[in-house]
């Protein structure tokens, strides 16, 4: 059996939980970007959700895709089989938040980490959210996205330095 060809995908593309398929923020027309599944070994492509200027996504083992459809709003989730995207975060204007970006599911598939851009540098950083809850918890000041590193660390950069923060 010959392995399928490897395709380059941008860093903001959410990979499937079993690494057998992926979702791609792409478009054949470049005027109407979409999140589309690339089927196992080249299977059919179906539209999952529209994006404007996507800023990251994450795909949980429970079959949910979490994504930032643009760089000026909240995060949304949609079932991996498609459906109507639902907002799962709310911008906190009292903290000067402008966008929630670069979400990443934690291993439980319900909680996620995301970066909140803000007009106030002291409020710019990583937050913890949970599907089905409007609440968010401040985690740390950061320059951008955070990534989970088993068994219990969050990796991110702050002032250009790599940080590994233990998470309970």
What does the alpha-carbon distance between residue 22 and residue 95 come to, in Å, rounded to a whole number? 34
User: Is residue 145 a contact partner of residue 153, using CB atoms and an 8 Å limit?
Assistant: no
Give per-residue pLDDT as tens, 100-140: 999 999 988 899 999 999 999 999 999 999 988 888 999 99
Residue 18 tokens, joined? 């079993």
pTM: 0.77
Average pLDDT value for residue range 142-156: 90
CA 45, chain centre distance (Å): 20
Average pLDDT value for residue range 137-156: 91
């Amino acid at each position: 059996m010959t392995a399928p060809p490897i395709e380059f995908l941008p860093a903001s593309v959410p990979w499937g939980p079993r690494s057998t398929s992926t979702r791609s923020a792409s478009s054949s027309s470049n005027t109407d970007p979409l999140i589309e599944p690339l089927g196992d070994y080249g299977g059919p492509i179906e539209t999952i959700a529209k994006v404007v200027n996507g800023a990251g996504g994450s795909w949980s083992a429970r079959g949910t895709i979490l994504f930032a459809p643009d760089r000026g709003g909240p995060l949304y989730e949609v079932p991996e089989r498609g459906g109507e995207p639902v907002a799962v975060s709310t911008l906190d204007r009292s903290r000067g938040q402008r966008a929630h970006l670069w979400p990443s599911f934690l291993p439980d598939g319900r909680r996620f980490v995301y970066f909140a851009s803000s007009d106030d540098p002291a409020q710019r950083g990583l937050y913890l959210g949970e599907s089905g809850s409007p609440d968010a918890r401040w985690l740390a000041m950061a320059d951008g996205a955070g990534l989970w590193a088993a068994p219990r660390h969050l990796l991110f950069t702050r002032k250009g330095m790599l940080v590994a923060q233990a998470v309970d």
